[in-house]
Amino acid sequence: MSKRLFFVLSVLVVASMALAACGTAATPTPAPATQAPAAATQAPAATTAPAAGGKPDACATDAFGCAVFKPGDTIIIGMGAPMTGDNASYGIDAANGAKIAISDAGDFQGWKFALDAEDDGGTAEGGAAVANKFVSNPAVVAIEGHIFSGATQAAIPIYEKAGLPMMSPSATNPTLTQTGSKVFNRDVFTDATQGKFAAAYLYNTLKFTQIAILHDGQAYGQGLAQVVNDQFTKLGGTVVTFQAITPGLADYSAVLADVASKKPQALFYGGYVAEAVVLVNQMKQAGLTNTVFFSDDGVFGQDFLDRAGANAEGAYATSLIPPASDAKTKFDAAYKAAYGQDAGKLSPYSWSSYDAAAVLIKAIESVAIKGTDGNLYIPRGALVTAVRSTKDYQGLSGTISCDPTGECASSGPVFYQVKNGQWVPAAGQ
Amino acid sequence: MEKTAVHKASMPVNTYRLIQIVLGVVFSAYVIWRFYDVFIGNPAYGADTWMRFAISGVVLGSVYALVAIGYTLVYGILFMINFAHGDIMMIGAFGGYFVFEALKNIPSPTVGDPHQVFLNAHPIISVILAFVVGMIVAAVSGYFLEKIAYRPLRNAPRLVPLISAIGASIFLENAALLLFGSQRRDFVNPVQLTRGTGWNIPVNGTTVILPYTGVLTFVLSVLILIALYLLVQRTRIGRAMRAVAENKSTAALMGIDVDGVISRTFIISGALAGAAGVMWGIHLGLVYYQVGFIPGIKAFTAAVLGGIGNIPGAMLGGMFLGIIEALGPAILGLPFQLKDVLAFGILVLILIFRPTGLLGEVLSEEKV
């Protein structure tokens, strides 16, 4: 009996040891790069002025004062992103892209940059909590993010009061730039921008005058289709039919036959990949033999190629993946070397994250003043203006020029076409 | 307000009848006017487009018909709606899918092509195998479904097996989700049956494709329906089924094994759903764990439309529904997204005028 008890006890002991080991392995300590150093102190113009002699005049006149960095301090760029949970891949990817931008930037006159990525869970409450944390840290001078639109919306008013400029690589909700915020900017295109560029590409580059538009009746697909419809008509083209389809079905041959009877040159579809595959597979059968299939970034991806096969040939879609360039090749290699997987795999925002961080760093460098006391002064109000007035910055994802509302992705989406079973950047952009 | 309600409640039967007739005349006049407008007055579509609509509708209708018969057979005998029937169809579709996947990996080198695979070298055998396997797995699932989910509730109130059926449907879908994953899979046909290829018929300056898969679906469906009709009308087991449908206890007194007949009914309806599933896969090319849900709902509608419990009614209802879905929006000038609204609207209309369905009268006399 006692032998048996001993056996049970020893099993329990071994099990608890194993569990304890797992526990430590599963909760890694935060990376030192994301730790905010406590040395930097904020020095608003009126109060607790340090060595008065070294302070530049800009700090006295700046609405939000200056961030002061002693030699050896680190300039922090904050990021609010979902770092845990279901959507963690977005936050991790954005942080990865931004870290590469920071290491590419090197140090500025001896001061290093660092990224502090805090977990906001992608929620509004999380966004506000992270924003409050950043606002109270004087070493944080700019924010990359937030990543999700909901969290961003909650965070904007907090940064607005503190004068922290933002650059989101992924918050695409159109209303974010319509509230008159001075601090919020984004270098990702919205659905409205995408639709506008798609209509222009169809009309100006592909020279189509008659298109049909289908959508799945959901917020993303219908919104996009509506923009394409309006813009294409405005440009002078004709939309021969504009219809919704019921998502999730396996047979759209009747509606496609209806579309075919109107003889469009192209069929634009606003929606996701599941229905797009069915549509593309049934187009020929429905009589749309020479009609070009054109869709959005909800359709772009390997899944479309795998499941539409030969029927996908010649189809267009938009994407955030920038066209090949030396800078992109270099970034992709650096990303792969640092994180062991390809850029764009975790989320499509790897490149815009890099650009967002690079733009912020450039703006910081343009306003930073080295005081005569050897400290670095960053006037916060001037930095907000500098980020908003970014012009013609050549990023990985295209030209970044901010308009007065903070929309900075001025080059729009990239159009891709299926050629020989691969997505390749389409001609004429 | 109250007054009209009272008035309505005490409305004499012939006033109600009159309203029905007026409604019917107005609706028919509208449909006839639309027909005139669409075909002669203001033709929106050429003959080629009408042919495409018709092909789409007839093929879909023949699949609905096969599934609808499963509902009707079970209802005729047990007076319950087998809501898991669409999921039996899904199981059949997966059966056919895995047969094709397996045959795709069996090398069968020929003189011309050393990399030829069995699926493409012997398309007829492959298709037959897919149907046989799909029908067998679906029939076996139908058998066990009845045994596990319905037989213990044979004498329970009628709502109870209905709830059990919904539970079985959810169970089957989730079992498939766990076994096969959530991704939509492509049903890879033999090259000879590639979707979108078929006979090219020149109409109106363009070519209308009559797809091979669609013709296969239609012909097979009609053959199966004829075979089923003969089975029910001309064989001993068919006679036993009809007897059980008529009156279970009398049938038992006559020496008929009622439980055995019910089991066989579920096997037959499962096999039909399995065949429909494989057809769905071959013609439309999508298989996933919820693939049976929408056809199941549509086929149930078709069965009610034709008169539930009536085999020719289910066939007619299925065909009718498929054709309405494809041609209805075009004729009435509605957006195609409203095809389901139209189909269910017509169901409501038919139930108002003929509560027993299109061929429902036969039900009360013969049942199955």
Going from the C-alpha of A62 to that of each of A331, A362, A367, A375, B80, the distances in angstroms are 36, 19, 12, 17, 78
**Tokens 């304890």, residue located:** A20
- How many angstroms separate the CA atoms of B273 and B296, rounded? 9
- How many angstroms separate the CA atoms of B245 and A315, rounded? 55
ipTM of the complex: 0.80
Give residue B361's pLDDT. 56
Domain positions in chain A: 33-189+325-411, 191-319
Give residue B37's pLDDT. 80
What one-letter code names the amino acid at A168?
S
Give residue A25's pLDDT. 38
Entry pTM? 0.74
Q: Does A261 touch chain B (CB under 8 A)?
A: yes
Under DSSP, is residue A416 helix (H, G, I), strand (E, B) or coil?
strand
Residue A102, min C-alpha distance to chain B (Å): 38
Chain A residue numbers touching B55 (CB-CB < 8 A): 253
Q: Does A399 touch chain B (CB under 8 A)?
A: no
Q: Does A250 touch chain B (CB under 8 A)?
A: yes
CATH number for the domain running over A191-319: 3.40.50.2300
A320-325 average pLDDT score: 82
Q: Does A222 touch chain B (CB under 8 A)?
A: no
| Interstrand relation of A166-167 and A140-145 (parallel, antiparallel or unpaired) | parallel
- Nearest CB among B52, B286, B330 relative to A287 is that of B52
Res B100 pLDDT > 60: yes
**Which DSSP string corresponds to A200-243?**
HIIIIIS---EEEEEE-SSHHHHHHHHHHHHHHHHHT-EEEEEE
Res B366 pLDDT > 70: no
| Contact between A268 and A166 (Cβ < 8 Å) | no
Domain positions in chain B: 44-366
Fold classified for B44-366: ABC transporter involved in vitamin B12 uptake, BtuC (1.10.3470)
Q: Does A240 touch chain B (CB under 8 A)?
A: no
Tokens of A9: 């006890």
Binning pLDDT at 50, 70 and 90, where does residue A38 land? very low
- More confident call, A97 vs B78: A97
Give residue A119's pLDDT. 92
CA dihedral B37, B42, B48, B52 (to 10 degrees): -40
pLDDT tens digits along A195-231: 888 999 999 988 999 999 999 887 778 888 999 999 9
User: Among residues A112, A33, A110, which one has the least CA distance to residue A79?
Assistant: A33
- Across B187-240, the runs of DSSP E, i.e. the strands, are 198-203, 206-211
Q: Which residues pair with A111 in a beta bridge?
A: A108
- Nearest CB among B48, B196, B294 relative to A249 is that of B294
pLDDT tens digits along B296-347: 888 988 988 888 878 888 889 999 999 988 888 888 888 888 888 888 888 8
| Interstrand relation of A140-145 and A422-425 (parallel, antiparallel or unpaired) | unpaired
Which overall architecture, per CATH, does domain A33-189+325-411 show?
A: 3-Layer(aba) Sandwich (3.40)
